Amino acid sequence: MPHIEPLIIFLVTGMVSMSAALSAGALNKLPDEDKPAFASGRNGMVTIIMAGNLAAITLLFSMAYGFSNLDWWIPLLCMFITFPVAHVVVIQQVLGDVKTLLLASPLVIGSMVALYLYW
């Protein structure tokens, strides 16, 4: 298995997880008439909520990985400043919430695998 710096693993897994969780939360808060077609039914909303919960759990694991392998201030600043700002300013503006959630959900699962392998 190749060696990857803990900072890179933390930044990638944390950013992907934060983006997916924030996008799921934003889609959940939309009024019913503004929700995408797949989210109009009960199963669609359950899928969005489950994807957001999985992303939030992965974000917690990413933060634990960051605190255990990096200086304490790096994960703390990323959690409250870097990840949310990057999501709102760049990712949400470029992709939107629906595309971000659809793109980030498989990456969240890959992030879980990466965290498991490199912990």
Mean pLDDT, residues 18-30: 95
Question: Which tokens is 24 given?
Answer: 């799921």
Which of 25 and 1 is assigned the larger pLDDT? 25
Rg (alpha carbons) of the chain, rounded to whole number: 15
* pLDDT attached to residue 9: 97
Q: Is pLDDT of 36 > 90? A: no
* pLDDT attached to residue 99: 95
* pLDDT attached to residue 101: 95
Distance CA 17, CA 13 (A): 6
